[in-house]
Structure 1
Amino acid sequence: MDSNQQQTKWSQFLSLIVVFFFWGFVAASNDILIPVFKKWFVLSQVQSQLVAWAFYVAYFVGSVVFFLISIKSDILQKFGYKKTLAVGLLLSALGAFLFVPAAAAANFWFFLTALFIVGLGFSVQQIVANPLAIKMGSPQTGAHRLTLAGGINSLGTTIGPILVGIALFGMGNDKESKSNDKNLSKIEVVKAEYITHKNELAKNVEELRSDKNDDPATVNATISTAQANIDALDTEIKQLNNISVASDQQVDSFSKKLEKIKEKSSAISYPIEFVKENLKMVKIPFIVLGVAFILVSIFMLFSKIEDPAKEEEENTEEGSSKFNILKYPQLYLGMLAIFIYVGVEVSIISNLPALLHTKEFGGVLEHNIAPFVSLYWGSLMIGRWNGSINVFNISKTTINILKFVVPFIAFAIIIVANTLSGKDVSSFYIYGFWILAFILMSFLGGKNAGKTLMIFGVAGVIMMLIGLVYPDKEIAKYFFISGGLFCSIMWPSIFDLAIAGLGKNTGKASSFLVMMILGGGVIPLVQGWLCDFDKTSEGILGITWTHFSYIIPVLCFVYLAFYGFITPKILRKQGIEMGESASHGH
């Protein structure tokens, strides 16, 4: 390596990674909004997934528009990296502030528009920030800088759901969020679920009785509908009080009755002013975000961040006019891999609230979802921090030790952050076994992109399949959540394989890969569509359709494992031998 290797511009780089934090914060916070919007706007599961769709389709639209404009005029050359990045931040600020009138109007489509504009700004930031991070020092350490940036992104995805959850629901109740007592009988667990649902409806009725803003006739009609469900629950609870020991058939009968009552409750259309009152807290985190976007954009404009040398940009353009995607199977197969990777990463978690809300998975309510969302996105942080260890110039022995220590430090941060928010997450401790499995598999993959992707793709398939068949649902949910661990270092592996051998067309190929983030808006819709079959069918293969919908992630991981297996063979035919690659995160 050149002794005169350019050093990383740490002061500039540390200013830049704030942007990566925001990407993660907002993306993960969407998963808290999905069950909230589903409840108050009376949405089907597939309709609720439009939240993810609006956000991720904005990446695609933004990338296409940026690409088309750049054909006639190179935006980064003309305006510079800092100014373009600041514009992206201001665009996201506009979207964040639009949450205020959207909440005031209690309009779902208004919220989607606001999210789309936030995502549009993020697409501009993504196009600028990734190459800028790479160019803030030596090319040899560019991937390492993205490793650190990816770790900060994952910190945002871990903290975001917790803070947004606090903003929407207040501090948690550790007793209420505690998992079902293992000493309770099946019938006692069902009774507890009846009481929980009754209390939720009773709270809404109490608030409706003091509603002076809506039409009294509408309010009374809603109270009457909710009270009818409460009366139905009371009837079943009285019967449950007289039963000390129940057969499985009786438990199943009471469970089915509860599901029917819940289905009626989810169809209650609340008065508009009442909905506005319950959505007003959505404004607060996004007002704070909007202000933060503006402050960071100002900071960026006055920072010492330097634009990369223009000669470097011009060199990448040479030969790109004859670029043809179909000449590079690693690229077009890689575009599909990015589409599927982002899709499965988002789909697993955006449909998880619906899964946990089912009776078989404990009937977890909206205000207790945040810890699970945090654990999922925190799993990506665990994986990326594990990959970040390779950045440091330390002995192999020390690296091997840290490979075991650092992931559990990241896990401890997740536990502490959720505990401080008032949630009981003692049931999360068992997740340490999945983390240990991930660490051992990371040693098998090493730094080889193809091998790593194949191993983690196969691991993802296995985890999803076990989650589908494991009898204890308190354990089964962790198999699904562990998808975050095995997704964590897929982005760089796919990217490295997809752009191998592209030479001077690497920049153009990268823009096509970024467009495929669109998968985060499409695949969750497909899985949500499957979930909605629960409204018209008793389930499939003995489980609910919502549970069965996790067959979609199985298929996604199959393709990702296939891409990791086949691409090195494709590259070898082109005379390209993949060496070691440094891990970083999307």
Structure 2
Amino acid sequence: MDSNQQTKWSQFLSLIVVFFFWGFVAASNDILIPVFKKWFVLSQVQSQLVAWAFYVAYFVGSVIFFIISLKSDILQKFGYKKTLAVGLGLSAFGAFLFVPAASAASFWFFLSALFIVGLGFSVQQIVANPLAIKMGSPRTGAHRLTLAGGINSLGTTIGPILVGIALFGMGDKNESKAPDPNLSKIEIVKNEFTAHKEELSKNIIALKKDTQDDPVKVQEVVSTIEKNIADLDTQVAQIDQNPANAEAQIDAYATKLGEIKQRSSNINYPIEFVKDNLKMVKVPFIVLGIAFILVAIFMLFSKIEDPAKEEEAELEQGTPKFSIFSYPQLYLGMLAIFLYVGVEVSIISNLPALLHTKEFGGVLEHNIAPFVSLYWGSLMIGRWNGSINVFNISKASNLILKFVVPFIAFGIIIVANELSGKDVSSFYIYALWIIAFIIMSFIGGKNAGKTLMIFGIAGVVMMLLGLVYPDKEIAKYFFISGGLFCSIMWPSIFDLAIAGLGKNTGKASSFLVMMILGGGIIPLIQGWLCDFDKTSPEGIMGITWTHFSYIIPIICFIYLAFYGFIAPAILKKQGVEVEESKGGGH
């Protein structure tokens, strides 16, 4: 390809729509998790099957694609456009399956639909990443992939907000405000009793209008809810009778609240009632399905050209006896990708459960979206910051943009949530974490190994602080900041893992993409730890098991820091010089 060839912007801009969809759906899963957990009466580990179904699909799709490619080069036989359109069509089919899944109120049907969406995405990933690089000069390929990564992150930021609106309507600013810092501890607990009573009361009003289900079953559920409400009223009355004494027994009241909430979460609602509460899930996925089809049609009729065939032919001339174990940077890098995607997904997939605990304020499902948006928006902040490195600008301009661009991204997160009707004034303190991230990005510079090591250590420190910091209104931001420090790990790991592989780079890349499987496995492990709260409500080391479960991200970050430290040493022994990291992200 001509190194002076200009980027085909009209073609490239149509392609990055696909990157937006990947982010939109991946982040929207985190809104679905607490919704499914509530209405299908799932344990935390069962709710994490949502992430499992989506990310295992990437692995299965990559393996199938790899096996077929051993016999026939799919991309050369059918072309990039047609293969990409097939992937979009597959995702559209999966999105439309959300309609019968919601109508049947079947969790396993939902998982199957999500698996098919992910399967289509795996095909799109295999095609779109190299196509973005090849849509112009090889020298600017990384620039295009970085921009595409930024658009992906925009999708992860906006997705939860739009899906949250589709499921719960516009937000209530008074309801989504942070707790009043002037309230005493017992007043906060009393407010949580009242909030849970209001939630249960709404369900009773809706159940009494239910004419579809068996009246006996409906009355049975109503009676169970009324008993829980009576227990809540009893506790509130006791607090009001002697507030001073109640303050001394705050732990006892908090434990009682936890018991009542646990009973509420175990209520099996009538099937037609559940269907009615899930019907709004259909809307965003019908829209997504239509969008997938429109983009697929647009792709088929677009002027996107397949990359020159001689490039693929050249790649096939690699060493016939290629072995993963011949390259320590590769097999260690595969584990790094597995843990990186795993920790990126696990932190946020389990965050709704953490925020739902009494120590973190008992945040309800309809107020989760802003926190999900802030987490995925943190990846956007980091990737937009990292993308500055790919432009050839003066040091002064680079310095200014390194501070300005992250706060522009942060502003987008704030405005988008405000427009959705949520009060996110409590997010302003997160600017401190952004400043810390910017400083660390300067220290890491453009060196992949150093950046990965520093951000891995930062991830460990943030998770530890989230575990021990006494003020839980602040502690949650330590966990959310994991998104900042994950944000530019993908290209750093990729750069180190494929360095020195020469013509085997393509094969190595396919194995690394398979390791996205970590996004389905690590959240299950963390969810399994969360569920110990059911059998051991006293928790561990003075905190709940759900809170303690963030030990899993710590372990992941430790390994990622280790890989950032060891990989450059391995490459140095091989006489390989690592190119500067270009930013971007998965």
Residue 212 of structure 2 corresponds to 213
Amino acid at match of 1:190: V
Find the aligned partners of 1:223 and 1:3 in 2 and give their Cα distance: 71
Aligned residues: 585
Match of 2:574 in 1: 574
- 1:567 maps to a residue whose letter is A
Report sequence identity in percent.
81
* Residue 535, structure 1, aligned to residue 534, structure 2: yes
Q: C-alpha displacement at 1:249, in angstroms?
A: 3.9
CA deviation digits over 1:377-416, x for unaligned, max 9? Answer: 0000000000111233322211110000000000000000
Match of 2:316 in 1: 317
Matches within 5 A, 1:13-162: 13-162=12-161
User: Match of 2:409?
Assistant: 410
Unaligned residue ranges in structure 2 (runs of 5+): none
Answering whether residue 426 of structure 2 is matched by residue 448 of structure 1, we say: no
Letter in 2 for 1:46: V
Q: CA deviation at 1:140?
A: 1.9
**Cα offset, 1:308, TM superposition:** 0.2
Report the AA paired with residue 54 of structure 1: A
Change beyond 3 A, Cα 1:4–1:41: closer
Q: Compute the displacement of 1:5 (Å).
A: 2.1
Q: Is the 8 A contact 1:460 1:483 kept in 2?
A: yes
Deviates more, 1:259-268 or 1:317-326: 317-326
Letter in 2 for 1:546: T
**Structure 1 residues 472-481 or 570-579, which shifts more?**
570-579
Counterpart-to-counterpart distance in 1, 2:212 and 2:193: 31
Contact 2:3/2:139 (8 A) holds in 1: no
- What is the TM-score normalised by the length of structure 1? 0.99
Deviations 1:257-306 (A, max 9, x none): 00000000000000000000000000000000000000000011111111
| Aligned twin of 2:547 | 547
Between the aligned partners of 2:94 and 2:378, the Cα distance in structure 1 is 28
> Hey, what does 1:435 align to over in structure 2?
434
Aligned-pair distance for 1:3?
10
Q: Distance in 2 between matches of 1:431 and 1:154?
A: 18
- Report the Cα distance in structure 1 between the residues aligned to 2:93 and 2:571, rounded to whole angstroms: 44
| Shift of residue 247, structure 1, vs aligned partner | 6.1
Q: Following TM superposition, by how much is the alpha carbon of 1:246 offset from its aligned partner in structure 2, in angstroms?
A: 4.6
What is aligned with 1:303?
Answer: 302
Amino acid of the structure 2 residue aligned with 1:540: I
The Cα offsets for residues 8-43 of structure 1, whole Å up to 9 and x where unpaired, read as: 111111111000000000000000000000000000
Q: Quote the residue 1:519 is aligned against.
A: 518
Select between 315-324 and 55-64 the one with higher mean Cα deviation.
315-324
Q: Which amino acid aligns with 1:529?
A: W
Amino acid in structure 1 at the alignment position of 2:489: M
Deviation per CA, 1:312-331: give whole Å up to 9, x if none: 00100102421111000000
Distance, in Å, in 1 between the alignment partners of 2:448 and 2:245 is 54
Q: Which moved more, 1:515-524 or 1:230-239?
A: 230-239
Does the Cα contact within 8 Å between 1:343 and 1:520 map onto a contact in 2? yes
| Residue 180 (str. 1) matches residue 182 (str. 2) | no
Structure 1 window deviating more from structure 2 (385-394 vs 54-63): it is 385-394
**Matched-pair contact (CA < 8 Å) for 1:320–1:508:** no
Deviates more, 1:288-297 or 1:233-242: 233-242
Q: Is the 8 A contact 1:384 1:489 kept in 2?
A: yes
Q: CA deviation at 1:239?
A: 1.3
Answer whether contact 2:403 2:438 (CA < 8 A) is retained.
yes
Structure 2 equivalent of residue 377 of structure 1? 376
User: Which whole-Å CA distance do the structure 1 matches of 2:491 and 2:139 have between them?
Assistant: 15
Deviations 1:217-270 (A, max 9, x none): 100100011111011001111112223335654111110000000000000000
1:172-571 aligned at under 5 Å gives the runs 172-246=171-245, 249-537=248-536, 538-571=538-571
How far off its partner does 1:139 sit? 1.7
How far is 1:495 from its partner? Answer: 0.2
The alignment partner of 1:501 has SS state of coil
Deviation at 1:137, TM superposition (A): 1.4
CA deviation after TM superposition for structure 1 residue 578, in Å? 1.8
Q: Secondary structure at the match of 2:422?
A: coil
Tell me how far 1:433 sits from its aligned partner.
Answer: 0.1
Whichever residue aligns with residue 566 of structure 1, its letter is I
For residue 157 of structure 1, what is the amino acid of its counterpart?
Answer: T
Deviation at 1:483, TM superposition (A): 0.1
Report the Cα offset of residue 478 of structure 1.
0.1
CA separation in 2, counterparts of 1:338 and 1:390?
22
SS in 1 for 2:243: coil
- Residues 112-156 of structure 1 show CA distances to partners (whole Å, capped at 9, x for unaligned) of 000000000000000000000111112222111111000000000
Q: Which residue identity lines up with residue 163 of structure 2 in the other structure?
A: V
Q: What is the distance in 1 between the residues matched to 2:77 and 2:564?
A: 38
Secondary structure of the structure 2 residue equivalent to 1:542? coil
Q: Which runs of 5+ in 1 are unaligned?
A: none
Change (3 A) 1:569 1:507: same
Q: Is the 8 A contact 1:187 1:246 kept in 2?
A: no
- Cα distance, 1:365 vs structure 2: 0.2
Instruction: Name the aligned partner's letter for residue 545 of structure 1.
Output: W
For 1:364 and 1:88, the matched residues in 2 are separated by 37
Which position in structure 1 is the counterpart of 2:5? Answer: 6
- Contact 1:100–1:283 (Cα < 8 Å) also in 2: yes
User: Cα gap change, 1:210/1:496 in structure 2, threshold over 3 Å: closer, same or farther?
Assistant: same
CA contact (8 A) 2:381 2:409 kept: yes
Deviations 1:530-549 (A, max 9, x none): 00000011100000000000
Q: Is the 8 A contact 1:187 1:245 kept in 2?
A: no
3-state SS in 2 of match to 1:245:
helix
C-alpha change, 1:523 and 1:3, in structure 2 (3 Å) is: closer
Give the superposition deviation at 1:359: 0.1
Mapped to 2, the partners of 1:403 and 1:320 lie a distance apart of 42
Amino acid at match of 2:343: V
Distance 1:71 1:248 in 2: 69
The residue type paired with residue 301 of structure 2 is F
- 1:579 Cα offset (Å): 3.7
**What do you get for the CA RMSD once the two structures are aligned?**
1.0
Contact 2:170–2:421 (CA under 8 A) maintained in structure 1: yes
Change in CA separation of 1:175 and 1:319 when aligned onto 2, cut-off 3 Å: same
The secondary structure found in structure 2 opposite 1:116 is helix
SS at match of 2:393: coil
Deviations 1:44-92 (A, max 9, x none): 0000000000000000000000000000000000000000000000000
